[in-house]
Amino acid sequence: MDIREATRRRFLKQGLTLAGLAVGAQSASAQLSMSDHSHGGELEKIAGHPMAFGTRSRYVNVARSTMSNVGASMFLHGEPMGLDAFTPIGELVGTITPSDLHYVSSHGSVPPDIDPRQHRLVISGMVERPLVFSLDDLMRMPAVTRTHYLECVVNRPTPVGKSLEQMHGMVSCSEWTGVPLSALLNEVGVKAGANWVYAEGAESVRLGNSLPLAKAEDCIVAYGQNGEPVRPHQGYPLRLVTPGFQGKYSVKWLRRLRLVKRPLLNYWERIHYLKVGEGDEGELRGNQGDFYLEQGPKSVITFPAADMRLSGTGYYTIRGLAWSGAGAVRRVEVSIDGGRTWNDAKLDQPALPMAWTRFTAPWTWAGKEATLQSRCTDDKGQVQPTGPEYQKFWAPSGAPHGNAIQPWKVTSEGFVLNAFSEQL
Amino acid sequence: MDIREATRRRFLKQGLTLAGLAVGAQSASAQLSMSDHSHGGELEKIAGHPMAFGTRSRYVNVARSTMSNVGASMFLHGEPMGLDAFTPIGELVGTITPSDLHYVSSHGSVPPDIDPRQHRLVISGMVERPLVFSLDDLMRMPAVTRTHYLECVVNRPTPVGKSLEQMHGMVSCSEWTGVPLSALLNEVGVKAGANWVYAEGAESVRLGNSLPLAKAEDCIVAYGQNGEPVRPHQGYPLRLVTPGFQGKYSVKWLRRLRLVKRPLLNYWERIHYLKVGEGDEGELRGNQGDFYLEQGPKSVITFPAADMRLSGTGYYTIRGLAWSGAGAVRRVEVSIDGGRTWNDAKLDQPALPMAWTRFTAPWTWAGKEATLQSRCTDDKGQVQPTGPEYQKFWAPSGAPHGNAIQPWKVTSEGFVLNAFSEQL
């Protein structure tokens, strides 16, 4: 395609005010003297500013807000346990979350300090050959790399008083690398009758969760995140990545997998999360329906979003993120009139299964009140519900996902507010 | 697929020695007491180790080696200029290079310390409307996110004495986000007769390069890298990402684009790189053929690789990276006998255009001498050359890529050596 022939609409015409060259093109050319490589006195002065190698610019502020998770029920042996930290999704671009900005929802305020040479993964229970894997063993096996989001079950729009980050910052997306769980199960040989995999972490409170054996097909025993070893707050040296299920199934500091007939429930699950009865030996007398499993289709506009103020009227690109626990994002629609009319947003490609897909939509703001919202459809055909639809159809069935549509109201002064409660 | 029915070959059978549970399955089950959440005395002791939020484990060493680039020709005003830093590609997994580990090849040892509120991108020359863009302007325009490798022209196998990192560590791969260059050119309106885009950075030596206008179609004026703002050593706040061309075309600290009829050459290009004559006003009297442009198909085995030693005989997964400046990687073959026979490696999906594609291949080492090498075919059908083929067919035409096949010799003691010179 010849750029000079392009007939694409120009954003300039749509109200994006760009500065012309005050000095004119002629003079601008003169400024670009090819031989004048000693120019730039201003730049040389500031070039002396010390800057640590590879670090962020001092002008970039992407620090997360963190929240200590010290509710009474979370005390263990009298010590406050737990740390929550949000991903600054409004500050991010693209689909990768930098590893140090991945959300954290953790029992224990400090991750276990694991020496990888000492760490072992034990696979036992209803297997032919119980085995112990060192990190070196796992590194020698075939690996896969896949991009997946992880999201905490608490992440959802709420009626009042929270920022984009506080409502929607418990979700992140990384490139994960490791051994397919199915390959490891193949090594140990799963016995007939085993239906669940109990996965346990090495932190002091020993969190663990049971997932259906069939889900093992797309789980990864991950040692890598975004190209490097998984970081300690994310489960170093091993994390079970369970794509599409709520975050707790992606067990950090993975040390043990046990093949069982019925789901095992540990202390934390019984008392704090599922609040269900149990049978002998901690086995739940139930079926899959008792567990929060696959998450639904979800999207959120990250710009403009709550707590921001538009700098003026004119052209903007609405930006947001979409994902689904059921597969890839097939479509995202954006409404600027509170859901009366919808237009297809543009999806960044490739739209990968159970991964963030970035969407954008053009919007020219004339200075009037507007309500912006997005709606995701996944490749299973599931459509993200409105708040009322969520309350009616999803919540009663114990939805594993707070995936209601998030409306943002833009006031005539350009303030952006959470409008979730207005539709309820 | 039912895991219990799987008939896939077990790696255990192929010589990967895994520990059985010394205590037996029965006892292992006993260790997994569901109610015993107070276990883990050892872990609790080390859990007190202070660990900064989000940082790497203290057991992870992915520090880059850096090399000051202070050859006599690189002095400017009497000061040594330049910094080279390698990406530790042997330590990485997956396809993303963490932003602080991206290779650096730079004039000036410290990047310019640019205030994004002050920074401007000027587009001038043969255009209808010369324009000045602030960062805010660019953020309001439609964005794209694409994964692309960048590679310095010096990156290549050499006959003697260098490590994997020193020969092959001047290449990295990131997810880049920004405005398509074509959209910006559409705003300014390219005049008939303009054939080249001269791109200039804001560092004190004002590096810049000319690229053919047609290439603008897949270039990105990037403000984002791996989900966050581009880091200072990589061009904060703006980098022109020119996928598939040698790294210098991805101009860091981008401040100026000029549309011109014939390629412009700045001081550094004339004196140090191209060493060509010039016409009036710094314009090269030549054509595209005078410039290093699209890079070829390339791959390298990153494990096992030079300077490593295998820990013993048995099963290994050969791992490596492949890429091409011409498009996507279509095929990678691996040879374990010095190129006599080849087998297809497994490619991680998706294999994206002008991006790293991770490949793996199974290998059982019986303790005998072996020569391992990989060969990439891209979706243009181009095949990565051997060293002798490279010398004969690629080098004489001024190939923009040191893309010869890299052979590694494994000695009977398990030492891995650079065998590039043995075939020459």
Give the pLDDT score at A377: 98
How do residues A377-387 score in pLDDT, each as one tens digit? 999 999 999 99
Whether the CB of A216 is below 8 Å from some CB of chain B: the reply is yes
Say whether both B286 and B142 belong to one domain. Answer: yes
Which residues in B lie closer than 8 A to residue A223 (C-beta atoms)? 93
Say whether both A222 and A306 belong to one domain. Answer: no
Confidence of residue B190 (pLDDT cuts 50, 70, 90): very high
We report the CATH number of the domain holding residue B405 as 2.60.40.650
The answer to whether B234 and A55 are in contact (CB under 8 A) is: no
Strand blocks (E) in B38-136: 66-68, 75-76, 79-80, 83-85, 104-106, 120-125, 131-134
Average pLDDT over residues B19-25: 50
- Whether pLDDT at A268 is above 60: no
Portion of chain B with pLDDT greater than 70, in percent = 75
Confidence of residue B277 (pLDDT cuts 50, 70, 90): very low
| Calpha distance A411→A407 (Å, rounded) | 13
Considering B240, B262, B290, which residue would you say is the last residue of a domain? B290
The answer to whether B116 and B90 are in contact (CB under 8 A) is: no
| Calpha distance B325→B353 (Å, rounded) | 8
Beta carbons within 8 Å of A367's beta carbon, 6+ residues apart: A313, A412, A414
How do residues B85-121 score in pLDDT, each as one tens digit? 899 999 999 999 999 999 998 876 678 899 999 999 9
Say whether both A139 and A101 belong to one domain. Answer: no
Q: What token pair was written down for A399?
A: 């939805």
* Stretch among A216-220, A352-356, B308-312 having the lowest mean pLDDT: B308-312
- Choose the closest CB to B317 out of A142, A182, A202: A142
The whole domain housing A180 covers 120-290
Considering A290, A306, A338, which residue would you say is the last residue of a domain? A290
Average pLDDT over residues A278-300: 63
**Backbone φ and ψ of A59, nearest 5°:** -90, -5
Whether the CB of A268 is below 8 Å from some CB of chain B: the reply is yes
- DSSP alpha helices (H): ranges in A72-142? 135-139
Q: Which residue has the tokens 């980050």?
A: A165
**A404 or B41: which leads in pLDDT:** A404
* Stretch among A152-166, A363-377, B214-228 having the lowest mean pLDDT: A152-166
In three-state form (DSSP H/G/I as H, E/B as E, the rest C), the secondary structure along B331-377 is EEEEECECCCCCEECEECCCCCCCCCEEEEEEEEECCCCEEEEEEEE
- Whether pLDDT at A350 is above 50: yes
How do residues B45-62 score in pLDDT, each as one tens digit? 334 444 677 888 888 877
Whether the CB of B182 is below 8 Å from some CB of chain A: the reply is yes
Return the ∠ at Cα A142 (arms to A136 and A143), rounded to 5°: 90
A309 within some domain: yes
A41 within some domain: no
Confidence of residue B295 (pLDDT cuts 50, 70, 90): very high
Say whether both A258 and A235 belong to one domain. Answer: yes
CA A152 to chain centroid, in Å, comes to: 8
For residue B329, the SS3 value is: strand
**Backbone φ and ψ of A327, nearest 5°:** 160, -145
Say whether both A130 and A245 belong to one domain. Answer: yes
- Whether pLDDT at A287 is above 80: no
Give the pLDDT score at A199: 95
DSSP B236: T
Whether the CB of B170 is below 8 Å from some CB of chain A: the reply is no
Say whether both A407 and A328 belong to one domain. Answer: yes
Q: What token pair was written down for B91?
A: 């330590």
Which residues in B lie closer than 8 A to residue A25 (C-beta atoms)? 124-125, 127, 130
Average pLDDT over residues B193-199: 95
We report the CATH number of the domain holding residue A150 as 3.90.420.10
Contact A125 B35 (CB under 8 A): no
Q: What one-letter code names the amino acid at A226? A: N
Give the pLDDT score at A281: 46
Give the pLDDT score at A67: 64
Say if residue B287 is exposed, middle or buried (CB neighbours under 10 Å; 0-12, 13-18, 19+): exposed
Q: What token pair was written down for B164?
A: 């994997």
Beta carbons within 8 Å of B215's beta carbon, 6+ residues apart: B197, B242, B245, B293
Considering A273, A290, A307, which residue would you say is the last residue of a domain? A290
* Stretch among A93-107, A171-185, A201-215, B293-307 having the lowest mean pLDDT: A201-215
pTM metric for this prediction: 0.86
Say whether both A184 and A320 belong to one domain. Answer: no
Give the pLDDT score at A280: 43
Provide the number of structural domains found in chain B.
Answer: 2
Q: What is the dihedral of CA B238, B64, B323, B181, to 10 degrees?
A: 0
A230 within some domain: yes
Site from B140, B267, B313 to mutate, A interface, most A CB atoms within 10 angstroms: B140
Say whether both B330 and B353 belong to one domain. Answer: yes
A11 within some domain: no
Give the pLDDT score at A205: 65
- Whether pLDDT at B285 is above 80: no
- A390 vs A298, A335, A371, CA distance in Å? 12, 18, 19
Give the pLDDT score at A384: 97
Question: Considering only residues 74 to 113 of chain B, which have any Cβ-Cβ distance to chain A shorter than 8 Å?
Answer: 76-77, 85, 91-102, 108, 110-113
Whether the CB of A179 is below 8 Å from some CB of chain B: the reply is no
Give the pLDDT score at B311: 87
Average pLDDT over residues B127-131: 97
**B13 or B155: which leads in pLDDT:** B155
Short-list B248, B399, B384, CA closest to B320:
B384
DSSP A388: H
Confidence of residue A262 (pLDDT cuts 50, 70, 90): confident
Short-list A89, A76, A215, CA closest to A149:
A89
Portion of chain A with pLDDT greater than 90, in percent = 60
CA count, 13 A, side-chain hemisphere, A231 = 21
| Calpha distance A176→A87 (Å, rounded) | 17
Say whether both B132 and B207 belong to one domain. Answer: yes
Portion of chain A with pLDDT greater than 70, in percent = 75
How do residues A197-239 score in pLDDT, each as one tens digit? 999 998 766 678 889 999 999 999 999 999 999 999 999 999 9
The answer to whether B382 and B296 are in contact (CB under 8 A) is: yes
Which residues in A lie closer than 8 A to residue B205 (C-beta atoms)? 37
Cis omega (within 30 of 0) on the bond before B243? no
Contact A6 B35 (CB under 8 A): no
Site from A59, A174, A302, A313 to mutate, B interface, most B CB atoms within 10 angstroms: A59
Strand blocks (E) in B226-284: 228-229, 239-241, 254-260
Q: Compute the residue count for chain B.
A: 424
Average pLDDT, chain A: 82
Say whether both B328 and B400 belong to one domain. Answer: yes
Confidence of residue B11 (pLDDT cuts 50, 70, 90): low
How do residues A128-143 score in pLDDT, each as one tens digit? 999 999 999 999 998 9
Average pLDDT, chain B: 82
Strand partners, A331: A377
| Calpha distance A337→A366 (Å, rounded) | 13
Q: A228 to chain B, minimum CA–CA distance in Å?
A: 5
The answer to whether A107 and A115 are in contact (CB under 8 A) is: no
Count each helix (H run) and each strand (E run) in chain B, helices first. Answer: 7, 25
- Secondary structure of chain B: what % helix, strand, coil (to 5)? 20, 30, 50
Average pLDDT over residues B356-382: 97
Average pLDDT over residues B232-251: 95
- Beta sheet of A254-260, edge-to-edge order: A208-212, A196-201, A254-260, A120-125, A131-134, B19-20
How do residues A72-129 score in pLDDT, each as one tens digit? 344 444 444 567 889 999 999 999 999 999 999 887 667 889 999 999 999 999 999 9
- Whether pLDDT at B122 is above 80: yes
A327 within some domain: yes
| Calpha distance A318→A336 (Å, rounded) | 10
A186 within some domain: yes
Contact A21 B54 (CB under 8 A): no
Average pLDDT over residues A191-198: 95
B98 within some domain: no
Give the pLDDT score at A22: 44
Average pLDDT over residues A141-149: 94
Say whether both B161 and B246 belong to one domain. Answer: yes
Whether the CB of A394 is below 8 Å from some CB of chain B: the reply is no
Say whether both B167 and B186 belong to one domain. Answer: yes
| Calpha distance B18→A358 (Å, rounded) | 42
Give the pLDDT score at A55: 86
Residue contacts between A and B (CB atoms, under 8 Å): 397
Confidence of residue A288 (pLDDT cuts 50, 70, 90): very low
**B246 or B180: which leads in pLDDT:** B180
- Whether pLDDT at B38 is above 60: no
Q: B65 to chain A, minimum CA–CA distance in Å?
A: 11
A203 within some domain: yes
- Whether pLDDT at B325 is above 90: yes
How do residues B392-407 score in pLDDT, each as one tens digit? 988 887 777 899 999 9
Give the pLDDT score at B15: 60
